Structure 1
Amino acid sequence: MINLSNLQKRSTADIAKRIVQDIPDGAHVNLGIGQPMTISNYLPPDREILLHSENGLLGMGPLAKGDQIDEEIVNAGKQPVTMLPGASIFSHADSFAMIRGGHIDICVLGAFQVSVNGDIANWRTGDPNAIPAVGGAMDLALGAKKLFVMMEHLTKSGESKLVAQCTYPLTALAAVDCIYTDLATIAVTQDGLEAIDWIEGLSFADLCEISGVPMTERKK
């Protein structure tokens, strides 16, 4: 196995900024619970990206701090957030009508596993100490026009989260469009996984070895 200890992995902030690069102006974007919620802190002020929260908010801004905190204005992870000018608040039912009706352009979810054909498992690992709760993930994975995954490339035990076939309970089949990790950006195509970019000091061959699944290199 490649020694990654001497390489500078992408931080959560780095991954969030990389994802923002691929979000077009005017997009309606839902942020899943966990790492994806940090994306709200890195929206460029000169661009219009409308963040949607499944609990009923469109036009969500960065996480709230200090005097900005209003415990009644929260994201889906119950973190206090700000609202940008023109933001709107609505019912949970209306929020899911937007999701199920195909009005969300991009959803960003975390994941435990992503398969080579874009299957995603992100709600249960079988840990007896964890409370399994799929929440709105299934609706979001299938309702959004595009699905991005934001996650660490390896598990704590060093196993790749990219797999030939998911072994955890599935959230959605063939739904993922692009994967953003602390090591690389990888597109899911009809021909399999395609590496777009990866961290400095890591070769494409190294990335393939670490990932443990077939992958091609996008030609620049």
Structure 2
Amino acid sequence: MSAREIIARRIAKEFKPGMVANLGFGMPTMSANYIPEGIDVILQTENGGLLFGSAPKKGESDPDLGNAGGEPITMLPGSSAFDLSFSFCIIRGGHVDMTVLGALEVDQQGNIANWKIPGKFVPGMGGAMDLLVGAKKVIAALAHTDKKGNSKILKKCTLPLSAAGVVDLIITEKAVIEVTDKGLVLKEVAPGVSVDEVIKFTEAELIVPENVGVMEL
């Protein structure tokens, strides 16, 4: 199982019946393919769609239906489409129960950087800042380390922040980490990953309880 699939599958375990959840590009959107049976979650795409499901099979996509990243989506019975301004009324009005966004870095204060690397052109952070402060729960989904093996879960973010002190949960291919007032609490490790390995590849300080769970995938 790839790291991306591990993360997407674990994200899906956070869905609760009836919640409105916004999914960012990449791994967060992938989690729609793994919604547990019997969980009727209402997925929102910030470009103006409510109630979509798993990605369509090859050759079955509708060119008129896509998420904010341009990826094809499947609208479910009872779904609705609306303009961008109405979509952001939902977000800014506090009607999104949970958002899952990718990240370049997160830190032990719950800060998140997910939009800019200095020196590289980017069009802007899009709706990330609205989602990060408007959603009731924020999950950061990211690889635990960069390509050089350096931790992306830091004591303090080094990149420009998208929002400060907003992250509630961090999900990587190695661990699930909760952001609390006392610090980062290691809640789960991935199958085959030890607590010591997570500590080794995490720059931030971790609070390790006596019993650390194993991800259910």
TM-score between both structures, scaled by the size of structure 2: 0.92
2:118 is equivalent to residue 133 of structure 1: no
Quick one: which of 71, 77, 95 aligns to 1:79? 71
Q: Which moved more, 1:60-69 or 1:170-179?
A: 60-69
Distance in 2 separating the partners of 1:144 and 1:47: 20
SS of 1:26's partner is coil
| 1:214 equivalent in structure 2 | 205
Return structure 1 stretches of 4+ with deviation > 6 angstroms: none
2:86 is equivalent to residue 94 of structure 1: yes
Distance in 1 separating the partners of 2:119 and 2:190: 31
Quick one: which of 174, 190, 193 aligns to 1:199? 190
Paired AA for residue 181 in structure 1: T
What is the CA-CA distance between 1:28 and the residue it aligns to? Answer: 0.4
SS of 1:62's partner is coil
2:150 is equivalent to residue 142 of structure 1: no
CA contact (8 A) 2:13 2:36 kept: no
What is the CA-CA distance between 1:202 and the residue it aligns to? Answer: 3.1
What is the CA-CA distance between 1:21 and the residue it aligns to? Answer: 1.3
Return 5+ residue gaps in structure 2 as ranges: 212-217
- The superposition leaves residues 37-81 of structure 1 with CA deviations (integer Å, 9 ceiling, x where unpaired) of 111111134211110000000001111224431111101111111
| 1:28 equivalent in structure 2 | 20
For the structure 1 residues 70 and 10, does the alpha-carbon distance in structure 2 shift closer, same or farther, using more than 3 Å as the test?
Answer: closer
Paired AA for residue 142 in structure 2: M
Paired AA for residue 63 in structure 1: A
Quick one: which of 112, 131, 140 aligns to 2:104? 112
SS of 1:18's partner is helix
Kindly report the root-mean-square deviation, in angstroms, between the aligned alpha carbons of the 2 structures: 1.5
Return 5+ residue gaps in structure 1 as ranges: 1-8
CA contact (8 A) 2:111 2:164 kept: yes
SS of 1:81's partner is coil
Paired AA for residue 154 in structure 2: V
What is the CA-CA distance between 1:218 and the residue it aligns to? Answer: 3.5
What is the CA-CA distance between 1:14 and the residue it aligns to? Answer: 2.1
Distance in 1 separating the partners of 2:122 and 2:11: 29
What is the CA-CA distance between 1:96 and the residue it aligns to? Answer: 0.2
Identity over aligned pairs, percent? 39
Paired AA for residue 171 in structure 2: Y
